[in-house]
């Protein structure tokens, strides 16, 4: 894949998204249906019917359900990162201006208590309904990253606010408590204490590590190590991680993009420290991620036992993780697979490939935002390698 095609694909992906104001459908946005809102009754099972039908239908039924196109808070953070990456590649100020405008929009929509961002729609679960924009560690992780990355080039609004508020969100709002070993946090402030999401804990450690890298406060690193100790102890003998602790709390097993989040968090620890504390954990995790969750030609698998569906989010996270691990050649194989199998052209990526058909529609956060961010990081790594050689 030559240099021109790499950047032209990134530019087209950003252009496709910008032309639509970065607004589109989202993964679990069924409760935004105007039909559902007009019903005279509110019922958990009706909510689940709308949410899961929109999510699982083989074609995109969201237009029929009158689900509006919206900006995702997490997706906006990813588009900020992608635009900053494009600026770093080209020096073109319009990309940095775009990132700053998106960041302004995101910061204006933050929650104050608990601090941060969640989904731009309600989510219905069996136990409870999570209201729109209930902050989560996952969205906050990428929002903080977007603020810090933009601030490295310009006066990013909200830098001090996010820097000062995020530690309390992790330790207080997410109930940072002792575990065996280490410490653990909730996925979101309203989550129960019957189970813990392992990739969310890894991303919580990533937030603390990023804060440590930004301000140099050793207490952030110490807390991050406590969480990573907990996550490392839950590593499966195959090298990957189940979705929850205990594993029986979720139908998900060792799926691809969530394992990528975990591996990336351990890689970030290595980038910031000289410690070999998690060397064996990371080696085993990377081997599992590459050899089990991907095929040798870069084809993604769903989890340790299922090849399908082949999901664009798994593709994007694979590109990000292997780029960060300095395995850019394998990241390039994943990019090539995506362009051959889930790329519609003109900057548009499809959602997922099933065994016998492809879900040939686009979710703005799940497809466009993740691929824009992944392509920006991949292009930067390739440029860095070219300059070194």
Average pLDDT over residues 132-136: 96
pLDDT band at 351 (very low <50, low <70, confident <90, very high): very high
Confidence class for position 112, pLDDT limits 50, 70, 90:
very high
User: For residue 389, what pLDDT is reported?
Assistant: 77
The pLDDT confidence band at residue 125, using thresholds 50, 70 and 90, is confident
Residue 236 has pLDDT above 90, yes or no: yes
| 173 has a pLDDT exceeding 80 | yes
The fraction of the chain above a pLDDT of 90, given in percent, is 93
**What are the angstrom distances between the C-alpha of 98 and each of 105, 136, 365?**
11, 25, 17
Instruction: Look at residue 88 and tell me whether its pLDDT is greater than 90.
Output: yes
**Fold observed for domain 3-388:** Glycosyltransferase (1.50.10)
The pLDDT of residue 385 is 82
pLDDT for 128 equals 86
Task: Name the pLDDT band for 126 (thresholds 50, 70, 90).
Answer: confident
pLDDT digits (tens, 9 = 90+) for 48-77: 999 999 999 999 999 999 999 999 999 999
More confident residue, 235 or 192: 235
Stretch 150-158: mean pLDDT: 93
Q: Report the distance separating Cα 103 and Cα 369, nearest Å.
A: 14
pLDDT for res 388: 81
Give the pLDDT band (50/70/90) at residue 379. very high
Q: Tell which phi-psi region holds residue 195, choosing left (phi > 0), alpha (psi between -120 and 50) or beta.
A: beta
3 pLDDT higher than 80? no
Report the pLDDT value the prediction gives residue 353, as an integer from 0 to 100: 97
Q: Which of 33-47, 86-100, 131-145 has the lowest mean pLDDT?
A: 33-47
Q: What residues does each domain of the chain span?
A: 3-388
> What's the rounded mean pLDDT across residues 102-120?
97
Per-residue pLDDT tens over the stretch 200-218: 999 999 999 999 999 999 9
pLDDT exceeds cutoff 80 at 136? yes
- The three state secondary structure string of the chain is CCHHHHHHHHHHHHHHHHHCCCEECCCCCHHHCHHHHHCCCCCHHHHHHHHHHHHHCCCCCCCCCCCCCEECHHHHHHHHHHHHHHHHHHCCHHHHHHHHHHHHHHHHCCEECCEECCCCCCEECCCCEECCCCCCHHHHHHHHHHHHHHHCCCCCCCHHHHHHHHHHHHHHHCCCEECCCCEECCCCCCCCCCCEEHHHHHHHHHHHHHHHHHHCCHHHHHHHHHHHHHHHHCCCCCCCCCCEECHHHCCCCCCHHHHHHHHHHHHHHHHHCCCCCCHHHHHHHHHHHHHCCECCCCCECCCCCCCCCEEHHHHHHHHHHHHHCCCHHHHHHHHHHHHHHCEEECCEECCEECCCCEECCCCHHHHHHHHHHHHHHHHHHHHHHHHHC
Q: Give the pLDDT confidence score for residue 206 in this predicted structure.
A: 98
Q: What is the mean pLDDT of the chain?
A: 96
Q: Is the pTM of this model over 0.95?
A: yes
Mean pLDDT in residue range 223-241: 98
**pLDDT category, 38, cuts 50, 70, 90?**
very high
Q: State mean pLDDT over 6-19.
A: 96
Q: What is the tens place of the pLDDT at every residue in 282-334? A: 999 999 999 999 999 999 999 999 999 999 999 999 999 999 999 999 999 99
């Amino acid at each position: 894949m030559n240099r021109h095609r790499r950047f032209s694909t990134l530019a087209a992906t950003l252009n496709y998204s910008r032309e639509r104001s970065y607004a589109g459908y989202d993964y679990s946005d069924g409760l935004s249906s105007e039909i559902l809102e007009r019903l005279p009754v509110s019922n958990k099972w009706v909510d689940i019917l709308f949410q899961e039908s929109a999510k699982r239908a083989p074609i995109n039924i969201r237009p029929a359900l009158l689900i509006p196109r919206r900006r995702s808070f997490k997706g906006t953070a990813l588009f900020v990162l992608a635009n900053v990456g494009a600026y770093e590649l080209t020096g073109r100020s319009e990309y940095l201006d775009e990132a700053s405008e998106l960041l302004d929009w995101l910061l204006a929509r933050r929650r104050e208590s608990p601090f941060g961002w969640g989904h731009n729609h309600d989510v219905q679960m069996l136990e409870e309904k999570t209201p729109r924009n209930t902050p989560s560690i996952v969205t906050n992780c990428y929002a903080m990253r977007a603020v810090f990355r933009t601030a490295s080039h310009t006066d990013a609004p909200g830098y001090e606010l996010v820097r000062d508020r995020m530690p309390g969100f992790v330790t207080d709002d997410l109930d940072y408590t002792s575990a065996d070993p280490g410490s653990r946090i909730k996925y979101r402030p309203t989550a129960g204490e019957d189970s813990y999401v392992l990739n969310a804990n890894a991303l919580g450690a990533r937030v603390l590590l990023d804060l440590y890298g930004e301000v140099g406060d050793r207490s952030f690193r110490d807390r991050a190590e406590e969480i990573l100790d907990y996550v490392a102890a839950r590593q499966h003998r195959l090298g990957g991680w189940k979705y929850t602790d205990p594993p029986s709390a979720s139908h998900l097993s060792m799926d691809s993009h969530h394992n990528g989040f975990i591996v990336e968090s351990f890689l970030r620890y290595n980038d910031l420290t000289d410690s070999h504390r998690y060397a064996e954990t990371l080696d085993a995790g990377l081997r599992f991620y590459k050899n089990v969750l991907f095929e040798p030609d870069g084809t993604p698998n769903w989890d340790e036992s299922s090849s399908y569906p082949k999901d664009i989010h798994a593709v994007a996270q694979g590109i990000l993780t292997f780029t960060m691990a300095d395995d850019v050649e394998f990241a390039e194989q994943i990019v090539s697979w995506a362009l051959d199998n889930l790329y519609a052209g003109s900057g548009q990526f499809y959602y997922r490939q099933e065994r016998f058909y492809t879900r040939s529609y686009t979710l703005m956060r799940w497809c466009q935002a993740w691929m824009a961010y992944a392509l920006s990081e991949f292009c930067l790594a390739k440029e860095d390698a070219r300059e070194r050689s």
